[in-house]
A and B are shown apart, each in its own frame.
Chain A
Amino acid sequence: MKLMNCPLNGPRPVLEFAFGGELRAMPDPDRASDAQWADYVWNRNGAPGVKREWWCHVPSGFWFIAERDTLRDVVIATYPCEAVLR
């Protein structure tokens, strides 16, 4: 079974986690043009690579960030989201 290291609970089976998509910066809704806003709402970075992603440990409801290589499906690091939200 594949394990993932939860920053709060330590290594847990990957089945306990939910994927929340890539971490993305939201443009200022008051200043963004329609095209910029549509780009933010719909468009994604669909090519493989090392990405920063939202993950949730479902039993404890804890959201955090994982750096993962989507081509090899290997988690490189996990850490609490405070580090990226400032």
Chain B
Amino acid sequence: MPYRLLKFALSRRHPEPRMFRVPAALKPAYDVVIIGAGGHGLAAAYYLARDHGIRNVAVLEKGYLGGGNTGRNTTIIRSNYLTPEGVRFYDESLRLWRDLATDFDLNLFYSQRGHFTLAHTDAAMRTMRWRAEVNKHLGVKSEAVDAAFVKRAIPMIDMECGGHAPILGALYHEPGAIARHDAVAWGYGRGADRRGVEIHQQTEVTGIEVTGGRVVGVRTSRGRIATPKVLCAVAGYTPRILDMVGLRSPIYVHALQAMVSEAIKPWLDPIIVSGSLHVYLSQTARGELVMGASLDPYEVQNTRSTLDFAEGLAAHMLDLFPFLGDVKVVRQWAGLADMTPDFAPIMGTTPLEGFYLDSGWGTWGFKATPVCGKTMSHTVATGANHPLIRAFEFDRFERFELTGEKGAASVGH
């Protein structure tokens, strides 16, 4: 038994340790205001304080810390994207993930599982080979594997998928992992808090004050704050914040749902994705199956769940794993995905001086949490976009310079 635990047990006082302070009032001014206490906003605050010495920072959250998409996602972490810009960016994130638990002194339950993207058609197999070659060229472990390899790794799978979508092979990505999403938000939050950052929950940003083409302050449900720099990291709420400053963007919002089963005996080690069947799936350390599918088919800006989704996903799950027929679904939920036309994020400086964006994270931004914090803190501190995010700039659409990430990001997580 660790000494610390023994001492705690024998002591008379058992204080409840808090992850972070609850600051009483807002200060009249901060060097930087971050909107959104999701993983992205908190990570940016953490690296601003740790790496750039900028500590007079407020993170404002309208609900509770980690209650947005950070606490709603299916936690798949991988870097087997299709474009060199994407692969480099996500691979840097993967490197950061590996040291994060030590950095935080907090168990993130980071669990490397291996990640299969199943191919049911020749065309899909061709894309897998293409992705594998791009990945290998950039030093990322990926390979196109045949049906026998898939069957060996996942013995319970029905390789015929009920006869209508036989599995021909897959893209196998050994570093694919899952992690505990809440702990990521808490770890970044505590690390930022200890370095002087203030986290204000239940504090909604209602307006942004602009004078002479630059940011001078924000209005909140608890009063006004002066600040020269605002970082907007609000995922599905991005268009509402952009409306406050009169910027137009291609971001559109659809709900993305997910569900989880009761805990069953461990039988599935790797993470499985099938683009054709619109399914992705992993089994947690506790034994629950965490399952997701594609976006809701039309624009929705609220987090309701639908029976259509549960039915559709269950049907495809049974194509892959008929033996799950009696397993119960225990929870279903949704988050708001901020989608972009090229399935890549929109990050960095904007035409408005002092206003920085970390957005367009749609259905794929959890894995990017650490690298977004790193690159956005650099961008906010220096006023210039970090080299890793140049392909994701706000004005790329106006220049018709989109990225080509669509093939790898749409349902692959």
Contacts and interface: CB of A to CB of B under 8 A. Distances in A.
B60 interface: no
B304 interface: yes
A48 interface: yes
A18 B302 contact: no
Contacts, number: 59
Contact of B250 (A19, A43, A47, A72): A43
A18 B248 CA distance: 26
B238 A46 contact: yes
Nearest to B399: A38
Contacts of A71: 301-302
B240 A38 contact: no
A31 B242 CA distance: 28
Given A35-B398, A38-B398, A46 B300 contact: no
Given A38-B398, A38-B400, A73 B248 contact: no
Interface string A20-61: 001000000000000100110111111110010100000000
Contacts of B252: 44, 46
A38 B302 CA distance: 29
Contact of A70 (B250, B251, B300): B300
Interface residues of A, number: 24
A15 interface: yes
A19 B248 contact: no
A73 B300 contact: yes
A69 B251 CA distance: 18
B228 interface: no
Contacts of A39: 248, 398
A1 interface: yes
B301 A70 contact: yes
A43 B253 CA distance: 13
Nearest to B297: A19
A19 B397 CA distance: 23
Contacts of A2: 306, 308
B300 A42 contact: no
B406 to A, nearest CB: 15
A35 B351 CA distance: 14
Contacts of A38: 397-398, 400
Q: Which 4 A-B pairs have the closest CB atoms?
A: A46-B239, A19-B298, A48-B301, A42-B397
Given A44-B249, A71-B301, 13 more contacts: A2-B308, A15-B308, A19-B297, A41-B397, A42-B250, A42-B398, A43-B250, A46-B238, A47-B243, A51-B299, A53-B298, A70-B299, A73-B304
Interface of A: 1-2, 14-15, 18-19, 22, 35, 38-39, 41-48, 51, 53, 70-73
Interface of B: 238-240, 242-243, 248-253, 297-302, 304, 306-308, 338, 341, 397-398, 400
5 contacts: A44-B249, A46-B242, A46-B338, A47-B242, A70-B300
